[in-house]
Structure 1
Amino acid sequence: MVKKRAITILTKLLDLKDVKVVGQRLHAGVGIILQTESMKSCSLCPQCGTKSEKLHQNHRYIIKDLPWGEKPVFLEINRRQFKCNKCQKPFSEDLDFVRKKRTYTKRLAQKIIQDVLSNDIHSVASKGIVTTEEIERMLKDASEATHNSKPSQLKRLGIDEIALVKGKGHYCAVFIDLDTSKLLAILNGRTKEIIKEALIAWGYEVLDQIEEVSIDLWQGYKNIVTKLMPNAQVVADRFHVMTQINKELDTQRKKERRNVEELIKKAKSAEDKAEYKIILSGLKNSKYSLLQNEDNLNESQTSKLLQVKEVSPILKAMHHFKEKVRKIFNHTDDWYAGVFKLGMWLSRAKKYFPHSNNTIIRWFDEIIAYFDHGTTSGAVEGVNNKLKLIKRSGYGFRNFDNFRVRCLLNWV
């Protein structure tokens, strides 16, 4: 009577649907082993769907389950083999809690994957519950569910890239749902062929419903979106436009500093050298003050900015136009006004920003599209920052697929 009651309690503690505990034993140094049986008396033939109760043979083996406290738990399960009355072929029953040819339960795999997301493979494996090979198998199983998944209700898409190995030229393209800030896909490369193949795999039903796509200033992205998403408006990310402008401003800063340093070397009089040194002092350590948003500067940075403007009329003018275009993006919420203001900026800033001017003209329609709904790749940059953290902590992964799965599982 006591034994029957204990078995009932163990079955409730195990908490697996249609599974009962029929025996248990405790092995020192190993853990708890629970002998289980299915409560179902039949199974469905995977070939024809016929219900069969004709038992062909038993197949018992041991798998790992979630531990109970500090005690490891193992299940001795019986994956019975039935014979179909219609097909006359034997088949193994499906067990909801464990995949075929796996040495662990599905719920243990889910727990291990969650641990890996916040740590790395080796540290999780060091706990002794599962091996590194089992963890990689769990990730591979999880990848099957994510690899062929298609986004639903996707309206605004962001396309960007992340360096897989910094400085090595290996980049991965990433797709982001801008409305949910969810990572949709990470690709092992950023070529047009790879990106096109991944998008086509979603199907034209998904692509046709996309209304906006935010991209950086790469023509390849634009060509792909135009071809595959006929209903989507391409939006050039405003932050990449500002990056282009800041890059040209910084190039001029470096140029002026080099010129002044050369003048100091060639100066023949002490007066000239002293004058050039004052200019050089104003240019030194001025990068942040020039490139950062003026509203975010502290007192010392503001002082440095004023110093730069005093010694360099060109940098003063370029900083003015840089701030002007930033305010256009920040304070214009009307397409018509955006066209007018940006057009005026182009005519006045051309002298100081010739390269940025040409870029904006080439991408004018896509840049102006920002003023319709204020769509940017801000969410993409947030996701990219998280991907970089995952990359740094994911040194236990042996291949890109495991890294991709780990990234995608963070947004499941």
Structure 2
Amino acid sequence: MRFSVEQMINLPGMKVLNCHEIEGIGLIIEIEKMAKSCTCRKCGYQTSSIHQNHWRIVQDLPISDRQVQLKINRRQFRCKKCQKIFSEELDFIEKNRGYTKRLAADIIKQVLDSNIRSVALRNDLTDEEIESMLNAQAILIESIDFARVKRIGIDEIALVKGQGNYLAIIVDLDTNKPIEILRSALRSSASLSRRSEELRKVFEGWGYAVLEQIHEVSIDLWNPYKNLVEELMPNVDVTADRFHVMKQITDELDTARKSEKRAAEKILNKPEKERKLTGITKSKYSLLKNEKDLTEQQKEKLKSVLEVSPQLSKMHALKEEFRYIFETKYSWGEGVLKLLDWMHNAMSFFPKSIGTIQRWFGEIVGYFDNRTTSGVVEGINNKLKLIKRLGYGFRNFENFKLRSLLTWHFGINYP
């Protein structure tokens, strides 16, 4: 029985002294270290002189759905050389914690897939105990190795669409993991200015050595971010994220769709009016979505809208051509020529987007050098929305930030 329990608890270097079960509590397993001696932390002398036994109880991972309490003899030794009294180290328990490291790791994994209240009830813990486990992992976030960061993406996402609250996300583009999240704010000129200053503090906190080694930054089309990274990062190349440029084009196409629908509603000829409206109504996703990703039903809808609107037909073709330019592996020179030709052909259809491309031309064609984008942020955005829902709002932003970053950076295997 003792040997099988030692196998089940799997704590190398520990031996089982006793094991019994108490109804309503679970298994109580008494353990202590196998070693007869311990090294003095002050002078390094090896001693076997036990000063006293000191028992403590901590919660461990359950065994066969039974709660497990480890009753541990953490012995105190007296060093014969320096006379210091010290306690032996137990590497599977954090100092002053009532649970093992591996239980905390398992609980946090559960929380990352659920919420604190549900996990607390499932594991017979309090919310406060689980929050303590989460906060103890903040060191993982504080110890992110920025010395490895060479390429980053900066983007803003709205956790709740239409409510105007945004988060700024910094992503390591080589690991595809977020490494910083800035507090949400209304997307006004004043709040964006504050966000830029918050971002400056973050970058300056990384130190010059880190900023000097960053050689590429992918950003959305916002000048304050561009000016900031160029000011602080001496060796950086700024690339405009192509998905944000693509969004400018699809937004302009959608504006044209709405205009065409309004014009159709004013047609006096009833059969012609119905023909146009039948083709245009509910055509948004068929027009804006990548054509190769359309469902059969969406393809049929696209066909009908293109038949009734030469304007939308031409704009849709240009939108697909623009996407193709950036999805095809052109060299920098070929990519630039293809984009210039597209701009010439699209001038009368996408005047707003053309203006944006002209202002950001250098940053946009920089994509053809390394094909860098912040597209990974879309997947990060979806996970953050899920975390927000599971956390019932996270009124404390720091808790939300910690929980979010742990989703990507938590992965320690404890014994």
* TM-score tier after normalising by the smaller chain length: 0.7 to 0.9
Q: Pick which of 248-257 and 193-202 moved more.
A: 193-202
Contact 1:50 1:84 in 2 (8 A): no
Aligned to 2:252: 248
Separation in 1, partners of 2:16, 2:71: 10
Q: Pick which of 310-319 and 236-245 moved more.
A: 310-319
Question: Matches of residues 153-164 of structure 1 in structure 2 within 5 Å?
Answer: 153-164=148-159
Query: What displacement does 1:116 show?
Result: 1.8
Aligned to 2:279: 282
Give the 3-state SS of the residue equivalent to 1:66 in structure 2: strand
Separation in 2, partners of 1:168, 1:310: 37
Give the 3-state SS of the residue equivalent to 2:107 in structure 1: helix
Contact 1:171 1:189 in 2 (8 A): yes
- 1:344 is aligned, of 341, 346, 358, to 341
Query: What displacement does 1:94 show?
Result: 3.9
Separation in 2, partners of 1:92, 1:398: 41
Separation in 2, partners of 1:84, 1:227: 58
Give the 3-state SS of the residue equivalent to 2:144 in structure 1: coil
Aligned to 2:171: 176
Contact 1:121 1:396 in 2 (8 A): no
Distance 1:358 1:72, change over 3 A: same
- 1:62 is aligned, of 57, 61, 83, to 57
Query: What displacement does 1:250 show?
Result: 0.8
Q: Look up the equivalent residue of 1:377 and give its one-letter code.
A: S
Distance 1:201 1:55, change over 3 A: farther
Q: Which residues of structure 1 form unaligned runs of 5+?
A: 1-5
Contact 1:43 1:82 in 2 (8 A): no
Query: What displacement does 1:167 show?
Result: 3.9
Query: What displacement does 1:8 show?
Result: 5.8
Separation in 2, partners of 1:347, 1:396: 48
Q: Look up the equivalent residue of 2:166 and give its one-letter code.
A: Y
1:207 aligns to 2:204 (yes or no): no
Query: What displacement does 1:157 show?
Result: 1.9
Aligned to 1:379: 376
1:95 aligns to 2:99 (yes or no): no
Contact 1:150 1:202 in 2 (8 A): no
Q: Considering only aligned residues, what root-mean-square deviation do their CA atoms show, in Å? A: 3.1
Distance 1:410 1:204, change over 3 A: same
- 2:291 is aligned, of 285, 289, 294, to 294
Query: What displacement does 1:213 show?
Result: 1.8
Q: Look up the equivalent residue of 2:388 and give its one-letter code.
A: K
Question: Matches of residues 332-371 of structure 1 in structure 2 within 5 Å?
Answer: 332-371=329-368
Give the 3-state SS of the residue equivalent to 2:97 in structure 1: coil
- 1:120 is aligned, of 99, 115, 119, to 115
Query: What displacement does 1:9 show?
Result: 5.5
Aligned to 2:188: none
Give the 3-state SS of the residue equivalent to 1:249 in structure 2: helix
Aligned to 1:402: 399
Query: What displacement does 1:355 show?
Result: 1.2
Q: How many residues align?
A: 398
Separation in 1, partners of 2:173, 2:203: 16
Give the 3-state SS of the residue equivalent to 1:188 in structure 2: strand
1:193 aligns to 2:197 (yes or no): yes
Contact 1:212 1:234 in 2 (8 A): yes
- 1:228 is aligned, of 225, 232, 256, to 232
Query: What displacement does 1:215 show?
Result: 1.7
Q: Look up the equivalent residue of 2:358 and give its one-letter code.
A: I
Separation in 2, partners of 1:389, 1:166: 13
Separation in 2, partners of 1:179, 1:221: 20
Give the 3-state SS of the residue equivalent to 1:35 in structure 2: strand
Alpha-carbon deviations, 1:97-152, whole Å to 9, x = none? 11122110111111111222222222222224432221111111112222232245
Contact 2:45 2:81 in 1 (8 A): no
| TM-score, normalised by the number of residues in structure 1 | 0.84
Aligned to 1:3: none
Query: What displacement does 1:165 show?
Result: 4.4
Alpha-carbon deviations, 1:362-389, whole Å to 9, x = none? 1111110111122222222223223333
1:29 aligns to 2:24 (yes or no): yes
Distance 1:310 1:13, change over 3 A: closer
Separation in 2, partners of 1:222, 1:363: 10
- 1:16 is aligned, of 11, 15, 22, to 11
Aligned to 1:315: 312
Separation in 2, partners of 1:323, 1:182: 30
Separation in 1, partners of 2:322, 2:349: 13
Contact 1:213 1:235 in 2 (8 A): yes
Question: Matches of residues 32-43 of structure 1 in structure 2 within 5 Å?
Answer: 32-38=27-33, 39=35, 41-42=37-38
Distance 1:216 1:121, change over 3 A: same
Q: Which residues of structure 2 form unaligned runs of 5+?
A: 186-194, 410-415
Aligned to 1:145: 140
Give the 3-state SS of the residue equivalent to 1:179 in structure 2: coil
Query: What displacement does 1:23 show?
Result: 3.5
Aligned to 1:134: 129
Fraction of identical pairs, as percent: 51
Contact 2:14 2:32 in 1 (8 A): yes
Contact 1:56 1:81 in 2 (8 A): yes
Contact 1:328 1:341 in 2 (8 A): yes
Q: Pick which of 366-375 and 207-216 moved more.
A: 207-216
